[in-house]
Amino acid sequence: MKHIALGHIALGIALTLATPALAQQTLEQRVAAKLAEAPLGTRFGLVVVDDTGKDIVAINPDGRFIPASNTKIYTTAAAFANLPGINQPDTVGGATVALRGEDVVLRGRGDARLSSADDCTVDCLATLADAIAAKTRHVRNVIGDDTLFPDQRWGPGMSWNNIPSSSGTGASALTLDDNELKLTITPGRAGEPARVELWPYFTVDNQARTVPGAETELGWDRDPNGKQLRITGTIGADAKPRTWQLGIDDPADYAAWRLKALLEARGVKVKGQVQVRHRALTPQDDPDYRQKKGLPVVQAAPGEPVLASLTPPPFAENLKHINKVSQNLHAELTLRRVASLQGSGSIADGVAQVEKMLDTAGVPRTAWDFSDGSGMSSYNRVAPRGTVKLLRWIAVQPWGAQYRETLPIGGVDGTLRNRFKGTPLEGKVFAKTGTLNATNALAGYFTGASGKTYTFAFYANDVPRDASGTKYMDDALNIVAAGN
């Protein structure tokens, strides 16, 4: 049967060696046949265009798909298009410290890279602790201030079960250590509790036990806004340690907690408590509401006179990091920084800036909807043709070449390092990935067999449980590349 034969055709086969029946098929038909091999119910959308914008393949081009982390294409493009000085040191984003009477105020300004690691050399919380220790030996409260952005730690439509994990950690203008805590569980002796390594920001209810052998079945959980971590299950006495990165619900609280510890390590006596300042999200943080009511943009209250501030590396480096490894938190903070240019720093203000960019790029309003900047929201939708229009617009911008360098390279780096290896597209596809429940995405650029560059957007939605659309997507792209 023709359909069965198609599934055994080598991806790199020359068209001249195809069977007569295959040769009579169009490229789009061969791609569709490959996609038909995917698990039943999977819904695909694909657009591939040449350098003139002509369709090479168009399968459900205007259908609306959950993009997952393909959302980051839009968020990072908005940053390139709008944020000034991204290739210079980030003089506006770094955290500051101030003294308000006896209180220490640690204020975030949207930087995602502040670190409290022992080996930190740039953008270090220790630098701010040193400045305070040089000024005073006694303080009262240590206050974490993230009021630059409204208190909107998670985007609408993000699954609640992601909150305890690093994928769903809270977003805050005051961010430290990627708003993550490292949890390590190692075996004890058989019959004894498992051993837990974790900074004491969370308390631990350790119900995990060590059992003979190497088999391990561990679980952990934490209630939203709770600080007690429950660890359950078993770990084999002969098993290797298991490690997880835990999300943090109140990043400003965590940052102030770490600063308190660093001050005490420097001999500064802290007499008071860790406290936080948040700015509540209000209807006025929505640009449509403001316009309807004739209201001004909400702004954070001015902070105290600054004692010391940090200057992070150029923001462009972070944009590359976001796209290469698909860093959710950094993408969320990027959307909020873009939002602060003409708005309050809310998600709605960020999406309004994305909309202006898409209008300029000629992307129709029906081709997208966004509720966050990272792609964790299941409310997000894009159309393949809309993404291709944006990517083609990006390519002709003054920063287009630099943007392309932020994308993972097939078989080489980032989230594509293990895909396309040993295929014609190894080292020749530059694209952003996306993975969410029942969703796979890939969009960017590739070099075909002709040496020409093609722009594409590829989505798989409604993928059955325990299945993936990536194999069929990658095979289909190789078919297109071989024929062009």
Q: Report the candidate in 420, 433, 435 with the shortest Cα–Cα distance to residue 474.
A: 420
| 349 and 405 housed in the same domain | yes
- Asked whether residue 146 is assigned to any structural domain, the reply reads yes
User: Of 287, 313, 339, at which residue does a domain stop?
Assistant: 313
| 11 and 60 housed in the same domain | yes
Strands 103-107 and 142-145: what pairing?
Answer: parallel
Longest dimension (CA), the chain: 85
Question: CA-to-CA distance for 472 and 6, rounded, in angstroms?
Answer: 12
275 bridge partner residues:
143
21 pLDDT above the threshold of 50: no
- Tens-place pLDDT, residues 426-439: 999 999 999 999 99
| 148 and 72 housed in the same domain | no
Q: Please name the residues in contact with 240: beta carbons below 8 A apart, sequence gap of 6 or more.
A: none
- Asked whether residue 299 is assigned to any structural domain, the reply reads yes
Q: Which domain holds residue 256?
A: 96-153+250-313
Question: CA-to-CA distance for 172 and 150, rounded, in angstroms?
Answer: 9
- Asked whether residue 61 is assigned to any structural domain, the reply reads yes
- Asked whether residue 37 is assigned to any structural domain, the reply reads yes
CB 437 within 8 A of CB 159: yes
Tell me what the mean pLDDT of segment 186-209 comes to. 97
User: Of 247, 272, 294, at which residue does a domain stop?
Assistant: 247
- Tens-place pLDDT, residues 73-129: 999 999 999 999 999 999 999 999 999 999 999 999 999 999 999 999 999 999 999
- Asked whether residue 88 is assigned to any structural domain, the reply reads no
Phi and psi at residue 483, to the nearest 5°: -90, 5
| 309 and 387 housed in the same domain | no
Q: How many domains does the chain have?
A: 3
| 459 and 350 housed in the same domain | yes
- Asked whether residue 89 is assigned to any structural domain, the reply reads no
- Tens-place pLDDT, residues 241-297: 999 999 999 999 999 999 999 999 999 999 999 999 999 999 999 999 999 999 999
DSSP string of 295-353? PPPP-PPP-PPPSEE--PSPHHHHHHHHHHHT-HHHHHHHHHHHHTTTS-S-HHHHHHH
| 57 and 180 housed in the same domain | no
| 435 and 350 housed in the same domain | yes
CATH code where residue 114 lies: 3.50.80.20
- Asked whether residue 90 is assigned to any structural domain, the reply reads no
User: Of 288, 313, 338, at which residue does a domain stop?
Assistant: 313
| 468 and 385 housed in the same domain | yes
Specify the 3-state DSSP secondary structure of 241: coil
| 470 and 321 housed in the same domain | yes
| 275 and 322 housed in the same domain | no
69 pLDDT above the threshold of 70: yes
CATH code where residue 369 lies: 3.40.710.10
Question: CA-to-CA distance for 212 and 190, rounded, in angstroms?
Answer: 5
| 265 and 324 housed in the same domain | no
- Confidence band for 15, pLDDT divided at 50, 70 and 90: very low
- Residue 5 is predicted with a pLDDT of 36
| 270 and 337 housed in the same domain | no
Which residue shows structure tokens 């980032």? 414
- Asked whether residue 433 is assigned to any structural domain, the reply reads yes
Strands 429-436 and 439-447: what pairing?
Answer: antiparallel
Which residue shows structure tokens 């409604």? 462
